Every structure is written in C-alpha cells, then in structure tokens.
Amino acid sequence: MDRKEYDQLADELKPAGHKIKNAFYAFLYGGVIGIIAQGVLEFFMNFYDISQEEATPMMIITLVLASCLLTGLGIYDKLAQRAGAGTFIPITGFANSMTSSALDCKSEGLVMGIGSNMFKLGGTVITYGIVSSALLGVIRYVITLFG
C-alpha cells in the first residue's frame, strides 16, 4: 500500500469531529466572558465614576487575576476542553498560557523553571504584537510625515 492510498484510507476512517458543537461552545463561552468583562467594566466605571477608557485596565487586571486563579485551581484547562477558542482567544487565555507555563516548570526552580519558562507559550503573542505594531507604526508614521 503506497502513501497516497494510505492517506485515502485513513481519511475515510477518520472519526467525525464535533465541529458544529465546538463552534457553538466557542461562541457561547467567548460571549459569556464578554458579558463578564462588560459587568466588571461597568462596575468600575460606576464605582470610581470614571470613563470606559480609564476603567479598561482595571477590568483587564480583574479578569487576568480570575484566569490565573482558575488555572491554579485546575479548572481553566477543563473549561478549555469544551470551550476551545472561547477560552484561548480572550485575554484570559493569555493569562492562562503564562500561568500554566510557570506552574508547570515550578519543579525546575525559581529561575530556570518559573522565570525562564513563563513566556514559553504566551511570548509569541507579545512578540508578534510588537513586531507587527512597530512595522505598521513606522509605515503609518512615514505616511503622516508626507501626508
């Protein structure tokens, strides 16, 4: 049996995924996190009597804290198995990637473990966020100079 034939055979037998169910749960969980974020945001806006822009960092800090705690308690990965992108796309997913990497390498010590591994998974978001923003930023700045 050659490789092409094998791939055909294997594709035929491939277990049906739960794509519709996955999409539904991603939407649901992602949406619910959006609602929670909105609630926290409005709470801070009313509590300190500030604008949405000023309350945003407070909301993000609160959600990050919640995500870190849920990761430590071993709940976040169980939610994520059902929610999929619903839990890795919100900022809570970023906090989960940092916390889980740190927690996982705890056994290798404070520096070689937690310190150097914290950004193992979350680092890519920061790297590409900065690289793309810097590149686009330079282009936009040059255009404004001439524009």
Partner 1 sequence: MNYIMAFLFSGLICLIAQLIYDHSHFTPGHITSMFVVLGSFLDLFHIYDHLIEIFHAGALIPITSFGHSLMHGAMAATKEYGIFGIAMGMFDLTAAGITAAILFGFLVAILFKPRS
Partner 2 sequence: MSLRFLGNSLKINHVYIKSSGTVCGPLEHQGPLGACFDKSIQDYHYGEKSFEKAERKMLRDALDICLKREHLKYKDIDLYLGSDLMNQITTVHYLARELPRPFIGVYGACSGFALSMATAALFIEAGFMEKVVTMVSSHNATAERQYRYPVEYGAQKRETTTFTATGAVSTLLSSQPQPVRVEALTLGRVIDYSQNDVNDMGRAMAPAAFDTLMNHFQDLKRSFHDYDLVVTGDLSMYGHQILKEMLLRHKVDVVHYNDCGCMLYDLSSQEVFQGGSGCACSALVTMGSLYPQLREKKMKRILVVATGALLSPMMTSQKESIPCVAHAISLEAVE
- 94-123 positions binding partner 2, by CB under 8 A: 96-97, 99-101, 103-105, 107, 120-121
Q: Which of residues 22-41 bind partner 2 (CB under 8 A)?
A: 22
Q: Does 79 bind partner 1 (CB under 8 A)?
A: no
**Residue 104 burial by Cβ neighbours in a 10 Å radius (0-12, 13-18, 19+):** middle
Min dist. Cβ of residue 122 to partner 2 (A): 10
From partner 2, partner 1, none, interface partner of 50 (C-beta below 5 to 8 A by class): none
How many Cβ atoms from other residues are within 10 Å of residue 108's Cβ?
13
Q: CB-wise, 16 or 111, nearer to partner 2?
A: 16
Distance of alpha carbon 17 from alpha carbon 25, whole angstroms: 14
Q: Does 26 bind partner 1 (CB under 8 A)?
A: yes
Tokens linked to 105: 């390498």
The residue type found at 43 is: F
